[in-house]
Structure 1
């Protein structure tokens, strides 16, 4: 099992989670993060650090966000690794909880 960054990270991109990851399995895109499923050790340390509740255990991923399991795996192959905290996107607070954000995913 792995952890998965879900839809609510899009346009928010808080990076508190990357600071606590012992294996640096987060990868950074233009407006979201993803977790490399083959590098994740299932420790769960990242989950409570996410201020927008965008990280799920694979088994707890909401059915409506099932596509994010594959998206995380795909995009982790393309995007650079991130291991240090950065500021969230400037309008992150306005995007927290907005539904249907997959259409805004920037690759």
Structure 2
């Protein structure tokens, strides 16, 4: 069992989950945060603190969220971020790299109430 950060984090990156993680397995990409599946101990602290509901236990994900199991895992691969298994995010700091699915994701922002996200109009790229 591991936790997964989903599309609700894209362009929001609240970051409250990062200091809550006792094993430092939440890494910052350009548009969202990623949980390293091999480093996550499944404690759930990150899920409990996320204000936008972006973090889920992998076995609880709905069909729409399931691709993010692979997104979080593949982010660390050589052909995406090249991070491998660094055993701690703090020493690395933020990256401007994202998984291709996240790069192609429509832009979004926190709503006016600060408790959810909404899509915003963004230029369409031929990469979609």
Displaced runs of 4 or more, over 4 A: none
Give the TM-score of the pair, scaled to structure 1.
Answer: 0.76
Unmatched tracts of structure 2, length 5 or more: 91-107
Task: Identify, as 1 or 2, the structure richer in helix.
Answer: 1
Aligned to 2:13: 13
Aligned length: 95
**Equivalent of 2:117 in 79, 97, 106:** 97
CA offset at residue 92 of structure 1? 4.1
Give the TM-score of the pair, scaled to structure 2.
Answer: 0.64
Contact 2:24 2:89 in 1 (8 A): yes
Aligned to 1:61: 61
Unmatched tracts of structure 1, length 5 or more: 84-90
Higher RCO by CA contacts (8 Å cutoff, separation 6 or greater): 1
What is the RMSD of the two structures over their aligned residues, measured on CA atoms?
2.7
Larger radius of gyration: 2
